Amino acid sequence: MILDREACKTRSVPGDMALKKTITYKSNIRIAKQLWHQISPASSRALRELTCEYQLSVAAGDLLLIEGRWYVTHAGLLGLARRSRCIGIHVRPVLQFCDPSSLRWAFEATVYKSRTCKGFVGFGDAAPSNVSQLVHGAEMRVAETRAVCRALRKAYGIGICSVEEIGTLNSQIDPTSESRKTPQPTNGNGYGGRTVRDHLCQIIRQHQLDPNLVKAYAVDFAGTKTLRDATREQVEAFVAHLSDWAEKDRSALNCQLNSYLGQKEGAA
């Protein structure tokens, strides 16, 4: 069922006493344009339906726009389940499809929407070949997450795919190719007339990245004690790398940045 436009403005979030603020299409499309700038009419219509029907929030990271298509996130699906008073989720490994020696895992998840619900089943698999390099060694957890996402989408009628199910759009990042794509500064003042700092700030704003975590990552990327010790070439290479990764796989980039949570205070 798709609610009419007026209902979208007044609909409250069901089953969640802690969340009083209604998520509106107007706020979602405003933030989406800030993040991705160009939103096609088809994507706008899809966002309106997703907002009205499921109360998914762009600001909260429930939805991502990748190559003109909306994808729901694991966090967004869990939030929907909580608001809808989901009774529980049961997850188990599918042993006949698991091979620990090659890091191949498969899971079955069953979502129970109510006490009388017979369950909605979803399967998820993961292996080194279909996950980001950043989560190599965590294939079991990725497979479990994918199974839960698929089961939740079935349970609540979410027709769009989840980000976790598609894995990564750019799982293999070749450092040599990144260095070949590094833009050359013009007039000694950065990218096409912009300074390197301006470009970096734009990336952080556009993709809503944590500046402190980005700084910690930059220090690690350059292999220096502080960012001030990095050469201009190292900083330019990092900015090009960050921009490319943010465009192609923001979810994996955030995983990388979150690994510096305990270091951000010492990154300056």
The structure tokens listed for 105 are 């895992």
Give the mean pLDDT of the chain. 80
Q: Are 239 and 196 in contact (CB under 8 A)?
A: yes
Q: Is the pTM of this model over 0.75?
A: no
Count of the separate structural domains present in the chain: 3
Q: Residue 89: enclosing H or E segment and its boundaries?
A: strand 88-93
Is there a single domain that holds both residue 135 and residue 113?
Answer: yes
Q: Are 260 and 217 in contact (CB under 8 A)?
A: yes
Beta sheet of 105-112, edge-to-edge order:
88-93, 105-112, 120-126
Q: Which of 166, 199, 222 is the last residue of a domain?
A: 166
What's the pLDDT tens digit per position in 177-207?
Answer: 333 343 444 333 333 334 777 788 888 888 8
What's the pLDDT tens digit per position in 126-160?
Answer: 999 888 877 888 899 999 999 999 999 999 999 99
Q: At what angle do helices 232-248 and 211-222 cross, to 10 degrees?
A: 120
Q: Which of 131, 166, 201 is the last residue of a domain?
A: 166
Which residue segment(s) compose the domain that 29 sits in? 5-69
For residue 268, pLDDT over 50 is answered with no
For residue 233, pLDDT over 80 is answered with no
Is there a single domain that holds both residue 184 and residue 224?
Answer: yes
